[in-house]
Amino acid sequence: MYLVFCVAATVVLILWKPTVLIYGLQTAGLYAAIAIPMGLVLGIVHIVNLAHGEFMMLAAYGTYFACKALGMDPLLAIIPAGLITAAFGWVIFQLTIRRAIKAPELNQLILTFGLAIAFTQVINLVFTSQTYKMPLDYVSSSMDIGELTFGTWSFVFIAMAILYAFGLKFFLTRTTSGKAALAVGQNPKGAAIVGIDVYRIYGFVFALALALVGAMGALFLTKSAIFPSVGSPFTMKSFCLVAMAGVGNIPGILSASILLGISENILRAFRGTRGWADIVFFVLIIVVIMSRSLKGRKS
């Protein structure tokens, strides 16, 4: 049923506005690659990190100034950015979030909200609200198929999202530390009983998620201008996607992202509706909540 609908929608889009489909998928890749690490943290550490997008913003700023100073291409910085963000995230985790893991959920939310504000405002204080952008030629590369012209660089986000989703799946099911992390996510007490150091796993998973976010920060910089509040919409959209997919369902994040990315780009395709595109995720999350609560009432 869903499959038929998806195929039909794709065919309609290809015939009607192929660019919407292409740009929609590219946006979806970007959203998914940022949302997947949030899903990982939520699924295993059980913390909603409201500073998620802000960590990416910090990574992008760090990459920008490192690249400016060394004359380096941001693409070369992807792995170092990931490692440094992971180290930074691990320190932040040990200093703050670790102390709140046993606290009520409310405290965790307020704590990470405080982190988000502190990060944004430190950047605001140091660099003001000016925007920064890397001038790169390969970003504007494009491709022609028949009469159709579209930008190709953003396909890298799709590749990244697929890499993250399958890489994580491999890690969680095939490696020892991954299996330990999964066990901690399912039942921390049981995991502690069989001899897993739960807090070490929490710190490790948090750092791993931040490595993925940090790498995305460097990649994000190739495409977009950065400013202090650039990360906050990604925090909300990531949470929306994770909530739509359901906690612990990483492939679900991919399909939720496609829905969000394509809906946004359908609205962006018209002059009259362009301004409303950023409202889509809110409508989607409301629809998801409504349908879940209706389903819940039936059963």
Partner 1 sequence: MNRSLARAIAIGAAALALILPLFAGDYPLQVARNVMMYMALAVTWDMLLRSGQISFGIAGLFGVGSYATILAVVRGGMPDWLSIPFAGLFSGLVAFLIGLVILRLRHTYFSIVTMALGEIFRIIIHNLHDFTGGPEGIVIQQGVMFGGKSSHLYWLALGGLAVALGASYWFDKSRFRFALTAIRNNETSAKSSGIDIFRWLLVTFVITSAIQGMIGGIFVQSYGFASPDSVFSADFTLLPMAMALLGGIHSTVGPILGGLLLGLVAEWLKLKIPYGHLVVYGVMIIVVILFMPNGLLGMARKAGKKAAGGQRDQA
Q: Please identify, using beta-carbon distances, which residue of 95 and 193 lies nearer to partner 1.
A: 95
**In which residue are the tokens 């995305």 written?**
216
CB of 75 to partner 1, least distance (A): 31
Q: CA-to-CA distance for 58 and 66, rounded, in angstroms?
A: 12
Least distance to partner 1 from the beta carbon of 136, Å? 28
Residue 238 CB, shortest distance to partner 1, in Å, is: 10
DSSP state for residue 96 in the 8-state scheme: I
Nearer to partner 1, 76 or 236 (CB): 236
Q: Minimal CA–CA distance to 213: which of 85, 25, 27?
A: 85
Distance between CA 245 and CA 253 in Å, rounded? 5
CB 244 within 8 A of CB 281: no
Nearer to partner 1, 120 or 154 (CB): 120
Q: How far apart are the first and last CA of the chain?
A: 21
**Minimum CB distance to partner 1, residue 65 (Å):** 17
CB of 128 to partner 1, least distance (A): 5
Minimum CB separation of residue 52 from partner 1 in Å reads 11
Closest CB to partner 1 among residues 81, 111: 111
Please identify which residue in the block is written with the tokens 């500073």.
Answer: 51
Extract the tokens encoding 19: 């660019």
Name the strand (E) or helix (H) holding 275.
none
Minimum distance, C-beta of residue 61 to partner 1, in the bound complex (Å):
14
Q: Residue numbers of the site for partner 1 (CB under 8 A)?
A: 48, 50, 96, 99-100, 103, 105-107, 109-111, 113-122, 124-126, 128-129, 233, 236, 239-240, 243, 275-276, 278-279, 281-282, 285-286, 289-290, 292-293
Collapsed DSSP state (helix, strand, coil) of residue 148: strand
For the chain, give me the number of helices (H) and strands (E)? 13, 2
Nearer to partner 1, 219 or 240 (CB): 240
Q: For residues 121 and 116, what is the distance between their CA atoms, to the nearest angstrom?
A: 9
Pick between residue 14 and residue 118 the one whose CB is nearest to partner 1: 118
Strand-pairing partners, residue 149, are 144
Looking at the Cβ atoms of 55 and 160, the one nearer to partner 1 is 55
